[in-house]
Chain A
Protein backbone atom coordinates (compact mmCIF):
# COMPACT_ATOMS: atom_id res chain seq x y z
CA UNK A 1 0.00 0.00 0.00
CA UNK A 2 1.34 3.38 -0.97
CA UNK A 3 -0.01 6.30 1.06
CA UNK A 4 1.12 9.00 -1.38
CA UNK A 5 -0.62 7.22 -4.27
CA UNK A 6 -3.75 6.67 -2.21
CA UNK A 7 -3.93 10.38 -1.33
CA UNK A 8 -3.50 11.30 -4.96
CA UNK A 9 -6.13 8.76 -6.01
CA UNK A 10 -8.50 10.04 -3.34
CA UNK A 11 -8.16 13.60 -4.64
CA UNK A 12 -8.68 12.57 -8.25
CA UNK A 13 -11.69 10.47 -7.30
CA UNK A 14 -13.22 13.27 -5.21
CA UNK A 15 -12.70 15.75 -8.03
CA UNK A 16 -14.32 13.43 -10.59
CA UNK A 17 -17.26 12.54 -8.33
CA UNK A 18 -17.85 16.15 -7.29
CA UNK A 19 -18.42 17.16 -10.93
CA UNK A 20 -21.45 14.86 -11.28
CA UNK A 21 -24.63 16.91 -11.65
CA UNK A 22 -28.20 16.31 -10.54
CA UNK A 23 -30.02 14.94 -13.60
CA UNK A 24 -33.11 17.06 -12.86
CA UNK A 25 -31.23 20.26 -11.97
CA UNK A 26 -28.09 20.11 -14.11
CA UNK A 27 -26.64 23.36 -12.72
CA UNK A 28 -26.09 21.73 -9.33
CA UNK A 29 -23.30 19.26 -8.67
CA UNK A 30 -23.72 16.58 -6.03
CA UNK A 31 -21.08 18.46 -4.03
CA UNK A 32 -23.24 21.63 -4.15
CA UNK A 33 -26.23 19.58 -2.99
CA UNK A 34 -24.38 17.95 -0.11
CA UNK A 35 -25.19 14.52 -1.54
CA UNK A 36 -21.51 13.60 -1.88
CA UNK A 37 -20.44 12.61 1.63
CA UNK A 38 -17.08 10.94 1.41
CA UNK A 39 -14.55 9.41 -0.94
CA UNK A 40 -12.34 6.82 0.73
CA UNK A 41 -9.43 4.88 -0.74
CA UNK A 42 -8.18 1.63 0.62
CA UNK A 43 -5.58 -0.54 -1.13
CA UNK A 44 -6.20 1.28 -4.37
CA UNK A 45 -9.97 0.72 -4.21
CA UNK A 46 -12.28 3.71 -4.23
CA UNK A 47 -15.49 3.88 -2.24
CA UNK A 48 -17.81 6.84 -2.64
CA UNK A 49 -20.42 7.55 0.04
CA UNK A 50 -23.56 9.41 -0.99
CA UNK A 51 -26.65 10.28 0.98
CA UNK A 52 -30.19 10.16 -0.41
CA UNK A 53 -32.15 13.41 -0.47
CA UNK A 54 -35.93 13.01 -0.43
CA UNK A 55 -36.96 9.42 0.40
CA UNK A 56 -38.50 8.77 -3.00
CA UNK A 57 -36.15 10.81 -5.19
CA UNK A 58 -35.70 8.77 -8.39
CA UNK A 59 -32.59 10.78 -9.30
CA UNK A 60 -30.52 8.85 -6.74
CA UNK A 61 -30.13 5.74 -8.92
CA UNK A 62 -29.06 7.94 -11.80
CA UNK A 63 -26.59 9.83 -9.63
CA UNK A 64 -24.96 6.58 -8.44
CA UNK A 65 -24.59 5.44 -12.04
CA UNK A 66 -23.15 8.81 -13.11
CA UNK A 67 -20.55 8.65 -10.34
CA UNK A 68 -19.41 5.23 -11.52
CA UNK A 69 -19.13 6.52 -15.08
CA UNK A 70 -17.24 9.66 -13.99
CA UNK A 71 -14.71 7.59 -12.05
CA UNK A 72 -14.30 5.08 -14.87
CA UNK A 73 -13.59 7.96 -17.23
CA UNK A 74 -10.88 9.06 -14.80
CA UNK A 75 -9.38 5.57 -15.13
CA UNK A 76 -10.58 4.44 -11.71
CA UNK A 77 -11.79 0.85 -12.03
CA UNK A 78 -14.68 -0.77 -10.14
CA UNK A 79 -15.53 2.04 -7.77
CA UNK A 80 -17.98 1.17 -5.02
CA UNK A 81 -20.92 3.43 -4.25
CA UNK A 82 -22.24 3.27 -0.72
CA UNK A 83 -25.45 4.88 0.53
CA UNK A 84 -25.31 6.48 3.95
CA UNK A 85 -28.61 7.27 5.68
CA UNK A 86 -27.38 8.84 8.89
CA UNK A 87 -27.23 11.73 9.59
CA UNK A 88 -30.16 12.47 7.31
CA UNK A 89 -29.63 14.91 4.46
CA UNK A 90 -31.08 18.38 4.82
CA UNK A 91 -31.28 21.34 2.44
CA UNK A 92 -29.12 23.22 4.96
CA UNK A 93 -26.17 21.35 3.48
CA UNK A 94 -26.57 23.05 0.14
CA UNK A 95 -23.57 25.29 -0.48
CA UNK A 96 -23.88 29.08 -0.89
CA UNK A 97 -22.51 28.64 -4.38
CA UNK A 98 -25.21 26.05 -5.04
CA UNK A 99 -27.92 28.42 -3.83
CA UNK A 100 -26.63 31.18 -6.13
CA UNK A 101 -26.52 28.81 -9.12
CA UNK A 102 -30.04 27.63 -8.37
CA UNK A 103 -31.37 31.21 -8.29
CA UNK A 104 -29.57 32.07 -11.55
CA UNK A 105 -31.19 28.98 -13.08
CA UNK A 106 -34.66 30.29 -12.15
CA UNK A 107 -35.36 28.15 -9.08
CA UNK A 108 -35.78 29.87 -5.70
CA UNK A 109 -33.26 28.26 -3.30
CA UNK A 110 -34.41 26.65 -0.03
CA UNK A 111 -34.46 28.82 3.06
CA UNK A 112 -31.74 28.11 5.61
CA UNK A 113 -32.74 26.57 8.93
CA UNK A 114 -34.97 23.83 7.59
CA UNK A 115 -36.48 22.99 10.96
CA UNK A 116 -40.19 22.78 11.56
CA UNK A 117 -40.35 26.57 11.84
CA UNK A 118 -39.21 26.90 8.24
CA UNK A 119 -41.73 24.25 7.21
CA UNK A 120 -44.66 25.82 8.98
CA UNK A 121 -43.84 29.45 9.68
CA UNK A 122 -44.62 32.27 7.27
CA UNK A 123 -42.55 31.71 4.20
CA UNK A 124 -41.10 34.65 2.32
CA UNK A 125 -39.70 33.32 -0.90
CA UNK A 126 -38.15 35.84 -3.26
CA UNK A 127 -38.97 35.55 -6.94
CA UNK A 128 -35.87 34.27 -8.76
CA UNK A 129 -36.84 36.34 -11.83
CA UNK A 130 -37.42 39.83 -10.43
CA UNK A 131 -36.46 39.51 -6.76
CA UNK A 132 -39.84 40.59 -5.40
CA UNK A 133 -41.03 38.98 -2.17
CA UNK A 134 -44.66 39.52 -3.20
CA UNK A 135 -45.05 35.83 -4.00
CA UNK A 136 -47.60 33.11 -3.28
CA UNK A 137 -47.65 29.33 -3.24
CA UNK A 138 -49.66 27.62 -5.98
CA UNK A 139 -48.97 24.04 -4.92
CA UNK A 140 -46.81 22.48 -2.20
CA UNK A 141 -45.87 19.76 -4.65
CA UNK A 142 -44.16 20.53 -7.93
CA UNK A 143 -42.51 18.85 -10.88
CA UNK A 144 -40.11 16.83 -8.69
CA UNK A 145 -40.14 15.74 -5.04
CA UNK A 146 -37.82 18.60 -4.09
CA UNK A 147 -39.86 21.45 -5.55
CA UNK A 148 -43.01 23.44 -4.85
CA UNK A 149 -44.82 25.60 -7.38
CA UNK A 150 -44.97 29.35 -6.65
CA UNK A 151 -46.05 32.51 -8.44
CA UNK A 152 -44.71 36.03 -8.30
CA UNK A 153 -47.42 38.65 -7.78
CA UNK A 154 -45.15 41.43 -9.09
CA UNK A 155 -43.90 40.03 -12.40
CA UNK A 156 -46.69 37.40 -12.65
CA UNK A 157 -44.21 34.66 -13.53
CA UNK A 158 -44.64 31.18 -12.03
CA UNK A 159 -41.50 29.65 -10.58
CA UNK A 160 -40.19 26.57 -8.79
CA UNK A 161 -39.12 26.77 -5.16
CA UNK A 162 -36.66 24.20 -3.83
CA UNK A 163 -38.45 23.02 -0.69
CA UNK A 164 -36.85 22.93 2.74
CA UNK A 165 -36.11 19.43 3.86
Chain B
Protein backbone atom coordinates (compact mmCIF):
# COMPACT_ATOMS: atom_id res chain seq x y z
CA UNK B 1 0.00 0.00 0.00
CA UNK B 2 1.22 3.48 -0.72
CA UNK B 3 -0.11 6.82 0.44
CA UNK B 4 -1.80 8.92 -2.23
CA UNK B 5 -0.98 12.57 -2.72
CA UNK B 6 -3.12 15.24 -1.10
CA UNK B 7 -4.88 18.03 -2.92
CA UNK B 8 -4.13 21.58 -1.89
CA UNK B 9 -6.42 24.61 -2.17
CA UNK B 10 -3.84 27.05 -3.42
CA UNK B 11 -5.27 30.42 -2.54
CA UNK B 12 -2.66 33.16 -3.01
CA UNK B 13 -1.55 33.15 0.65
CA UNK B 14 -1.41 29.33 0.85
CA UNK B 15 0.58 29.21 -2.40
CA UNK B 16 2.88 31.99 -1.22
CA UNK B 17 3.57 30.28 2.12
CA UNK B 18 4.09 26.84 0.54
CA UNK B 19 6.61 28.30 -1.91
CA UNK B 20 8.77 29.60 0.96
CA UNK B 21 8.26 26.44 3.00
CA UNK B 22 9.32 24.31 0.03
CA UNK B 23 12.42 26.49 -0.46
CA UNK B 24 13.43 25.84 3.13
CA UNK B 25 12.64 22.11 3.10
CA UNK B 26 14.39 21.34 -0.17
CA UNK B 27 17.57 23.29 0.58
CA UNK B 28 17.56 21.89 4.12
CA UNK B 29 17.32 18.37 2.72
CA UNK B 30 20.16 19.03 0.29
CA UNK B 31 22.37 20.23 3.16
CA UNK B 32 21.44 17.18 5.24
CA UNK B 33 22.83 14.99 2.44
CA UNK B 34 26.29 16.24 3.46
CA UNK B 35 25.98 14.79 6.95
CA UNK B 36 28.98 12.52 7.43
CA UNK B 37 30.56 13.55 4.11
CA UNK B 38 31.84 17.10 4.64
CA UNK B 39 35.57 17.83 4.24
CA UNK B 40 36.08 18.53 7.96
CA UNK B 41 34.23 17.91 11.22
CA UNK B 42 33.46 21.62 11.69
CA UNK B 43 31.96 21.80 8.20
CA UNK B 44 29.92 18.67 8.75
CA UNK B 45 28.41 20.31 11.82
CA UNK B 46 27.96 23.66 10.06
CA UNK B 47 26.09 22.14 7.10
CA UNK B 48 23.89 20.03 9.36
CA UNK B 49 23.19 23.06 11.56
CA UNK B 50 22.17 25.18 8.59
CA UNK B 51 19.99 22.33 7.34
CA UNK B 52 18.34 22.24 10.74
CA UNK B 53 17.66 26.00 10.64
CA UNK B 54 15.96 25.51 7.28
CA UNK B 55 13.96 22.50 8.44
CA UNK B 56 12.73 24.53 11.42
CA UNK B 57 11.69 27.39 9.15
CA UNK B 58 9.95 24.92 6.83
CA UNK B 59 7.95 23.42 9.70
CA UNK B 60 6.72 26.81 10.89
CA UNK B 61 5.81 27.87 7.36
CA UNK B 62 3.98 24.59 6.57
CA UNK B 63 2.07 24.85 9.84
CA UNK B 64 1.06 28.39 8.94
CA UNK B 65 0.02 27.31 5.42
CA UNK B 66 -2.10 24.52 6.94
CA UNK B 67 -3.83 26.98 9.25
CA UNK B 68 -4.51 29.45 6.44
CA UNK B 69 -5.76 26.68 4.14
CA UNK B 70 -7.98 25.12 6.83
CA UNK B 71 -8.52 21.83 4.94
CA UNK B 72 -7.07 19.49 7.54
CA UNK B 73 -3.61 19.33 5.99
CA UNK B 74 -0.56 19.67 8.22
CA UNK B 75 3.23 20.04 7.99
CA UNK B 76 3.77 16.32 7.43
CA UNK B 77 1.16 16.03 4.68
CA UNK B 78 2.58 19.03 2.85
CA UNK B 79 6.12 17.65 3.03
CA UNK B 80 5.45 13.97 2.45
CA UNK B 81 2.31 13.73 0.38
CA UNK B 82 2.76 16.12 -2.51
CA UNK B 83 4.20 15.14 -5.89
CA UNK B 84 6.96 16.88 -7.78
CA UNK B 85 4.48 19.01 -9.73
CA UNK B 86 2.92 20.21 -6.46
CA UNK B 87 6.27 21.45 -5.10
CA UNK B 88 6.84 25.18 -5.47
CA UNK B 89 10.50 25.71 -4.54
CA UNK B 90 13.10 27.65 -6.52
CA UNK B 91 15.00 25.57 -9.08
CA UNK B 92 18.29 26.77 -7.59
CA UNK B 93 17.64 24.98 -4.31
CA UNK B 94 16.94 21.53 -5.75
CA UNK B 95 20.18 21.46 -7.74
CA UNK B 96 22.42 18.59 -6.62
CA UNK B 97 25.17 19.28 -4.08
CA UNK B 98 27.96 18.50 -6.52
CA UNK B 99 31.32 19.28 -4.96
CA UNK B 100 31.79 21.47 -1.89
CA UNK B 101 32.29 24.58 -4.04
CA UNK B 102 28.94 24.02 -5.75
CA UNK B 103 27.13 23.55 -2.44
CA UNK B 104 28.71 26.71 -1.06
CA UNK B 105 27.90 28.74 -4.18
CA UNK B 106 24.24 27.67 -4.06
CA UNK B 107 24.19 28.51 -0.36
CA UNK B 108 25.85 31.88 -0.91
CA UNK B 109 23.51 32.99 -3.75
CA UNK B 110 20.44 31.98 -1.76
CA UNK B 111 21.49 33.06 1.75
CA UNK B 112 22.30 36.60 0.61
CA UNK B 113 18.85 36.78 -0.95
CA UNK B 114 17.01 35.12 1.95
CA UNK B 115 18.67 37.36 4.51
CA UNK B 116 17.49 40.50 2.68
CA UNK B 117 14.09 38.95 2.00
CA UNK B 118 13.22 37.87 5.54
CA UNK B 119 14.56 41.08 7.02
CA UNK B 120 12.08 42.98 4.83
CA UNK B 121 9.33 40.46 5.68
CA UNK B 122 9.56 41.39 9.39
CA UNK B 123 7.24 44.27 8.44
CA UNK B 124 4.61 41.92 6.95
CA UNK B 125 1.01 42.56 7.96
CA UNK B 126 0.70 38.81 8.51
CA UNK B 127 1.99 38.65 12.10
CA UNK B 128 2.88 34.94 11.90
CA UNK B 129 4.97 35.48 8.77
CA UNK B 130 6.58 38.51 10.43
CA UNK B 131 7.50 36.40 13.47
CA UNK B 132 8.93 33.59 11.32
CA UNK B 133 10.86 36.27 9.41
CA UNK B 134 12.37 37.70 12.60
CA UNK B 135 14.02 34.36 13.37
CA UNK B 136 14.88 33.43 9.81
CA UNK B 137 16.74 36.65 9.07
CA UNK B 138 19.07 36.11 12.04
CA UNK B 139 19.70 32.53 10.97
CA UNK B 140 20.44 33.57 7.39
CA UNK B 141 22.80 36.29 8.65
CA UNK B 142 24.97 33.44 9.96
CA UNK B 143 24.58 31.50 6.69
CA UNK B 144 25.66 34.57 4.70
CA UNK B 145 28.78 35.05 6.78
CA UNK B 146 29.69 31.39 6.60
CA UNK B 147 29.20 31.02 2.84
CA UNK B 148 30.83 34.40 2.03
CA UNK B 149 33.97 33.37 3.90
CA UNK B 150 34.03 30.12 1.96
CA UNK B 151 33.57 31.84 -1.42
CA UNK B 152 36.62 34.00 -0.65
CA UNK B 153 38.63 31.06 0.61
CA UNK B 154 37.78 28.91 -2.42
CA UNK B 155 38.09 31.65 -5.03
CA UNK B 156 41.29 33.12 -3.65
CA UNK B 157 42.68 29.71 -2.70
CA UNK B 158 44.38 27.22 -4.98
CA UNK B 159 44.03 27.00 -8.74
CA UNK B 160 41.85 23.94 -8.28
CA UNK B 161 39.50 25.51 -5.71
CA UNK B 162 39.24 28.66 -7.85
CA UNK B 163 38.36 26.62 -10.92
CA UNK B 164 35.68 24.65 -9.05
CA UNK B 165 34.13 27.79 -7.53
CA UNK B 166 34.04 29.60 -10.89
CA UNK B 167 32.48 26.56 -12.60
CA UNK B 168 29.79 26.41 -9.91
CA UNK B 169 29.04 30.13 -10.30
CA UNK B 170 28.77 29.83 -14.08
CA UNK B 171 26.52 26.75 -13.84
CA UNK B 172 24.18 28.07 -11.13
CA UNK B 173 23.94 31.67 -12.32
CA UNK B 174 20.94 31.06 -14.60
CA UNK B 175 18.90 29.88 -11.60
CA UNK B 176 19.33 33.11 -9.61
CA UNK B 177 16.79 35.18 -11.57
CA UNK B 178 13.86 33.13 -10.27
CA UNK B 179 14.43 34.49 -6.74
CA UNK B 180 13.35 37.94 -7.92
CA UNK B 181 10.37 36.98 -10.09
CA UNK B 182 6.80 37.86 -9.13
CA UNK B 183 3.55 36.46 -10.55
CA UNK B 184 -0.05 37.65 -10.31
CA UNK B 185 -0.76 35.46 -7.29
CA UNK B 186 1.88 37.29 -5.29
CA UNK B 187 1.27 40.75 -6.70
CA UNK B 188 -1.93 41.06 -4.68
CA UNK B 189 -0.16 40.02 -1.47
CA UNK B 190 2.60 42.54 -2.13
CA UNK B 191 0.03 45.30 -2.65
CA UNK B 192 -1.69 44.28 0.60
CA UNK B 193 1.56 44.58 2.60
CA UNK B 194 1.64 40.84 3.36
CA UNK B 195 4.51 39.95 1.06
CA UNK B 196 7.63 41.77 -0.08
CA UNK B 197 8.39 42.46 -3.73
CA UNK B 198 11.64 40.53 -4.26
CA UNK B 199 12.45 42.58 -7.37
CA UNK B 200 13.16 45.53 -5.07
CA UNK B 201 15.97 43.53 -3.42
CA UNK B 202 17.83 42.67 -6.59
CA UNK B 203 20.23 45.62 -6.71
CA UNK B 204 21.25 45.14 -3.07
CA UNK B 205 21.69 41.39 -3.65
CA UNK B 206 23.87 42.05 -6.68
CA UNK B 207 25.98 44.56 -4.76
CA UNK B 208 26.69 42.12 -1.92
CA UNK B 209 27.30 39.17 -4.25
CA UNK B 210 29.61 41.09 -6.58
CA UNK B 211 31.53 42.52 -3.61
CA UNK B 212 32.28 39.06 -2.22
CA UNK B 213 33.07 37.58 -5.63
CA UNK B 214 35.43 40.46 -6.36
CA UNK B 215 37.31 39.82 -3.12
CA UNK B 216 37.34 36.13 -4.03
CA UNK B 217 38.88 36.94 -7.44
CA UNK B 218 35.87 35.24 -9.04
CA UNK B 219 33.94 36.57 -12.02
CA UNK B 220 30.27 37.46 -12.02
CA UNK B 221 28.70 36.03 -15.20
CA UNK B 222 27.38 38.54 -17.70
CA UNK B 223 24.82 36.16 -19.10
CA UNK B 224 21.36 37.44 -18.11
CA UNK B 225 19.21 34.63 -19.50
CA UNK B 226 17.39 33.11 -16.55
CA UNK B 227 15.67 29.76 -16.05
CA UNK B 228 12.30 29.68 -14.26
CA UNK B 229 9.57 27.15 -13.46
CA UNK B 230 9.92 25.91 -9.88
CA UNK B 231 7.36 28.34 -8.48
CA UNK B 232 4.77 26.79 -10.85
CA UNK B 233 5.80 23.17 -10.27
CA UNK B 234 7.96 22.78 -13.38
CA UNK B 235 11.13 21.29 -11.97
CA UNK B 236 14.45 19.89 -13.06
CA UNK B 237 14.81 16.11 -13.06
CA UNK B 238 16.64 16.28 -9.73
CA UNK B 239 13.65 17.06 -7.51
CA UNK B 240 11.89 13.76 -8.19
CA UNK B 241 14.92 11.81 -6.99
CA UNK B 242 15.19 13.97 -3.90
CA UNK B 243 11.50 13.50 -3.04
CA UNK B 244 11.60 9.76 -3.59
CA UNK B 245 14.14 9.55 -0.80
CA UNK B 246 12.54 12.18 1.44
CA UNK B 247 9.06 10.66 1.11
CA UNK B 248 9.79 6.94 0.86
CA UNK B 249 8.91 6.00 4.42
CA UNK B 250 5.59 7.85 4.85
CA UNK B 251 4.56 6.87 1.30
CA UNK B 252 5.31 3.19 1.91
CA UNK B 253 3.93 3.00 5.44
CA UNK B 254 1.08 5.53 5.58
CA UNK B 255 0.58 6.99 9.04
CA UNK B 256 3.73 5.37 10.44
CA UNK B 257 4.69 6.73 13.87
CA UNK B 258 7.70 6.17 16.09
Contacts and interface: CB of A to CB of B under 8 A. Distances in A.
Given A116-B141, A141-B45, A141-B49, A55 B57 contact: yes
A57 B53 CA distance: 8
A140 B135 contact: no
B42 A141 contact: yes
Given A88-B131, A116-B141, A119-B138, A143 B45 contact: yes
Contact of A85 (B49, B54, B131, B142): B131
Interface in B13-62: 42-43, 45-46, 48-57, 59-60
Contact of A141 (B130, B136, B146): B146
A86 to B, nearest CB: 4
Contacts of B48: 141
Interface in A67-98: 85-89
B123 to A, nearest CB: 13
Interface residues of B, number: 30
B138 A149 contact: no
B60 A141 contact: no
A143 B54 CA distance: 17
A86 B130 contact: yes
Main secondary structure on chain B at its contact with chain A? helix
Interface residues of A, number: 26
A57 B56 contact: yes
Contacts of B128: 85-86
A145 B132 contact: no
A56 B131 contact: no
Given A86-B127, A119-B141, A140-B145, A54 B56 contact: yes
Nearest to B130: A86
Nearest to A143: B45
B159 to A, nearest CB: 26
B75 interface: no
Contacts of A89: 135
Contacts of B142: 119, 140-141, 163
A85 B45 contact: no
Given A55-B60, A88-B134, A141 B50 contact: yes
A3 interface: no
A149 B45 CA distance: 10
Interface string B104-124: 000000000000000000000
A54 B42 contact: no
6 contacts: A52-B60, A55-B135, A56-B56, A85-B132, A114-B138, A119-B145
Interface of A: 52, 54-58, 85-89, 114, 116, 119-120, 138-143, 145, 149, 163-165
Interface of B: 42-43, 45-46, 48-57, 59-60, 127-128, 130-132, 134-136, 138-139, 141-142, 145-146
Given A55-B132, A145-B53, A163-B142, 4 more contacts: A54-B56, A86-B134, A141-B50, A145-B49
